[in-house]
Amino acid sequence: MAWLLVVVAGILETGFAVCLKLSHGFTRLWPTIAFACFALGSFGLLTLSLKKLDVGPAYAVWTGIGAAGTAIYGMIFLGDIVSVLKLVSISLVIIGVIGLQLSGSAH
């Protein structure tokens, strides 16, 4: 259950990163409100998961999901440049996240 919280928190991290861009420096109301909601949800779920998980692997998985999700979202919906190197790098992040999750660090 704790790892599920980390995964959902990582997805919410993607949401707050995208809304941060869309807020244009907190000058647009609705993206700023969405950023705050996603951020509170993400940090809240991560905090709950840390009651059961080691901080290092949980934080790495959370940031890995957020980073990969944000990069993929940007390429699909925001016109970010797609390159082979970027796709390989995202794949390596995902492989690292899976490896950390499989490392058996949960209590």
To the question of pTM greater than 0.85 for the whole model, the response is yes
The domain tally of the chain equals 1
Q: pLDDT digit of tens for each residue in the chain (107 aa)?
A: 999 999 999 999 999 999 999 999 999 999 999 999 999 999 999 999 999 999 988 999 999 999 999 999 999 999 999 999 999 999 999 998 888 778 765 44
Residue with tokens 């995964």: 7
CA 2 to chain centre: 16
Helices 55-77 + 84-102 axis angle, to 10? 150
Rounded to an integer, what distance in angstroms lies between the CA atom of residue 34 and that of residue 16? Answer: 7
pLDDT attached to residue 102: 81
- Give the C-alpha distances (Å, rounded to integers) separating 7 from 3, 24, 27, 104: 6, 27, 30, 16
Full domain range(s) for residue 94? 1-106
Integer-rounded Cα Rg, in Å, for the chain is: 15
Q: What is the pLDDT of residue 99?
A: 85
